[in-house]
Amino acid sequence: MPELPEVETTRKLIAPLLEGRTILGFEYDPSPRYSALEDTIGLTVSTLSRRGKYILIGFEDSDLELIVHLGMTGGFRPTPDKHTRVTVHTGLGHTDYSDVFFTDSRRFGKWRTVRRGEYAEMPTLHAMGPEPLSEDFVLEDFVEAASKAGTVKPWLLSQKPVAGLGNIYADESLHLSGIHPESRKLSRAQSVRLFEAIKQVLAKAVHAGGSTLNDGSYQQPDGNPGYFQLEHRAYGREDQPCLTCGEPIYKYWLGGRGTHVCAKCQPLERS
């Protein structure tokens, strides 16, 4: 957490607070997690885009780019609180000064200024696969890669076959497609089902504003929760009946990640 839907929701809601505004300064915790932020002072924000789980802030008349990764508990808030780690001071011309607040209770978020597109020091971003809700996510490419894949859930979480999937939406996509998380070398039929499930799950989750779990760590920047957790079919539903067949969802650990499965709907088919 946060994953693609939460980051996309965050991006959309903070874009009006930053686009067209000039960076006047920062206040932040001394930490290597916040690198070269001052290089952007005096620059005017032109765009906020997203790549996987990263927010990319572009600037007018500059080849610099400010990369924000929310980590496990990072997010933006309308007012500061005890977990505020970065405050961005902005202005519109010589008037209309305002601040944007980044809060992060567990301190795993990262901010870094780089030359646009130069991500070699951020290997996950550098090697990231296609965006699943864009035309770059091509069925035949996915089918080909999945036919050679190792254990499917860690493969999805690597960000290489598709950008933005984390633990929640991998579990949801695998359940919807009827594929066990330990399946390997997917058949064409499995790959097609998974391809469509990924797009469907993520599109619905973005529309719902992401998922706010019991710990409440993710909120939309306006303070409202996300609502997709109300539509989860697998994640966080251990011991509850599968919405497809009624068998209880069970939870186990795979690659160090809590994993939610229906044994009946997601049989393990060894290749």
Return left, alpha or beta for 74; rule: phi > 0 is left, psi -120 to 50 is alpha, else beta.
beta
Residue 270 has pLDDT above 80, yes or no: no
Structure tokens given for 88: 């961005």
Which range among 32-36, 216-220, 229-233 shows the weakest confidence by mean pLDDT? Answer: 216-220
Catalytic-residue membership of 181 = no
Same domain for 100 and 171, yes or no, is no
- Which band of pLDDT confidence, cut at 50, 70 and 90, is reported for residue 271? low
Catalytic residue among 11, 33, 53, 193: 53
Note whether residue 156 is domain-resident: yes
Catalytic residue among 2, 5, 161, 221: 2
Same domain for 193 and 82, yes or no, is no
Same domain for 104 and 157, yes or no, is no
Structure tokens given for 65: 């780019």
Note whether residue 66 is domain-resident: yes
| Structural element, H or E, at residue 4 | helix 4-18
Residues 6+ apart with CB under 8 A from 82: none
Average pLDDT over residues 54-72: 97
Residues 6+ apart with CB under 8 A from 205: 4, 5, 169, 172, 211, 226, 228
CA 38/CA 50 separation, integer angstroms: 22
Q: Mark which of 72, 101, 126 sits at the end of a domain.
A: 126
Cα 125 from chain centre: 12
Report the SS3 class of residue 95: strand
Q: Provide the 10 A C-beta neighbour count for residue 134.
A: 10
Q: Mark which of 126, 151, 175 sits at the end of a domain.
A: 126
**Helices and strands (DSSP H and E) totals, the chain:** 6, 11
Nearest Cα to Cα of residue 166 among 69, 246, 47, 269: 69
CA 119/CA 67 separation, integer angstroms: 10
Report the SS3 class of residue 116: coil
Average pLDDT over residues 118-134: 96
Same domain for 88 and 122, yes or no, is yes
Average pLDDT over residues 36-44: 98
Catalytic residue among 185, 199, 251, 257: 257
Check the CA dihedral 126-52-72-150 and report its sign.
Answer: negative
Note whether residue 267 is domain-resident: no
Catalytic-residue membership of 3 = yes
What CATH number corresponds to the domain at position 162? Answer: 1.10.8.50
* pLDDT tens digits for range 69-115: 999 999 999 899 999 999 999 999 777 899 999 999 999 999 999 99
Note whether residue 134 is domain-resident: no
